[in-house]
C-alpha cells in the first residue's frame, strides 16, 4: 500500500515511516498541511495517517477540504488522548478512523491495514429517499423541493448510513462513529432519528428493532 504520514513531530513521523516500511508499504511523509496537499497532487494514495495539530493548519480542516474536493482515500486521524469533541469533529469532517495519542505503533499498523483492506469509502454525492434529496458535497437537504436545515450531527448520521448503501448499521457502531465514543447516548440517538424523520419524512430511515438503522435509499 502507498501510505502518507502527516505529522510535524519528526521523531513520531520517522518512527511511523520506518515501522510501516518494514511491513512492506510504500510510505511518504509530510510535516505540514501544505506538504500533504503536494503529496496528494503527486499521485494516488491508499491510506493517510493525519495528525490533527499541524503548524500551518488543522488536520481536521485538511480532511474536510479533501472530502469536499472529492478525495475518498481513507484517513486515520491522530488526536489528543481522550479528546472526544475533537474526534467527533474529525468524523464530521470525513475521517474514517481515529487513534488517540499516545498510541501503540502495533495498533496503528493494524488500523492502517484495516483501512487499506476497506479501500476508498464510496461517499455518495447525492442520495434520494422518497421526496427527500440529500446533497452530501454541499450539505444541502431538500424535501419536496424545499430546503431543510440539518445539524452537523444529523449530517454525520446520514453520511454514515448513506456510505453503507442501505445496509443496517448497529446502534453501537453509530454511537461510536457519530458521538465519538460508545457513551450512554441511546436516548440521544433516538431523538436524532426522530428529528431527521420529522424533517425529511418518516420513511427516510428504516429501523431494525434491537439492532440499528438504515437509510431508505431509492
Give the pLDDT of the chain (218 residues) as one tens digit per residue.
Answer: 889 999 999 999 999 999 999 988 999 999 999 999 998 887 788 899 999 999 999 999 999 888 888 788 889 999 876 567 777 788 778 888 888 888 899 999 998 988 887 666 555 678 888 899 998 777 889 999 999 998 878 888 888 888 777 788 888 878 877 775 544 555 688 889 999 999 999 989 999 888 899 998 76
Candidates 169, 165, 9, 128; CA nearest to 78 is 9
- 35: which residues sit within 8 A by CB, 6+ positions away? 6
Q: Do domains 2-118 and 126-215 have the same CATH topology?
A: no
pLDDT at position 21: 93
* pTM for the model: 0.60
pLDDT at position 195: 94
Residue 48 sits at the vertex; the CA angle it makes with 117 and 106, to the nearest 5 degrees, is 65
Class of domain 126-215: mainly alpha
pLDDT at position 182: 45
CATH number of the domain located at residue range(s) 2-118 in this protein: 3.40.50.2300
Q: How far apart, in Å, are the Cα atoms of 123 and each of 75, 137, 144, 146, 157?
A: 13, 9, 23, 24, 13
pLDDT at position 94: 84
* Spans of all domains in the chain: 2-118, 126-215
Cβ pair 73, 47 in contact under 8 A: yes
Amino acid at each position: 500500500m502507498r501510505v502518507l504520514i502527516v505529522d510535524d513531530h519528526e521523531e513520531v513521523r520517522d518512527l511511523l515511516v520506518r515501522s510501516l516500511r518494514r511491513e512492506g508499504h510504500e510510505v511518504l511523509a509530510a510535516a505540514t498541511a501544505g506538504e500533504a496537499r503536494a503529496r496528494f497532487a503527486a499521485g494516488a494514495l491508499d491510506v493517510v495517517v493525519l495528525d490533527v495539530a499541524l503548524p500551518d493548519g488543522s488536520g481536521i480542516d485538511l480532511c474536510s477540504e479533501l472530502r469536499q474536493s472529492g478525495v475518498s482515500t481513507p484517513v486515520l486521524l491522530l488526536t489528543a488522548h481522550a479528546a472526544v469533541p475533537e474526534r467527533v469533529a474529525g468524523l464530521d469532517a470525513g475521517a474514517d478512523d481515529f487513534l488517540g495519542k499516545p498510541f501503540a505503533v502495533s495498533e496503528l499498523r493494524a488500523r492502517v491495514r484495516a483501512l487499506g483492506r476497506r479501500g476508498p469509502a464510496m461517499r455518495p454525492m447525492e442520495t434520494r429517499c422518497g421526496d427527500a434529496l440529500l446533497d452530501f458535497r454541499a450539505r444541502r437537504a431538500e424535501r419536496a423541493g424545499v430546503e431543510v436545515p440539518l445539524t452537523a450531527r444529523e449530517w454525520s448520521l446520514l453520511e454514515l448510513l448513506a456510505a453503507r448503501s442501505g445496509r443496517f448499521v448497529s446502534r453501537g457502531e453509530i454511537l461510536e462513529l457519530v458521538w465519538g465514543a460508545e457513551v450512554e447516548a441511546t436516548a440521544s440517538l433516538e431523538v436524532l432519528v426522530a428529528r431527521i424523520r420529522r424533517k425529511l419524512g418518516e420513511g427516510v430511515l428504516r429501523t431494525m428493532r434491537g439492532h440499528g438503522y438504515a437509510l431508505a435509499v431509492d
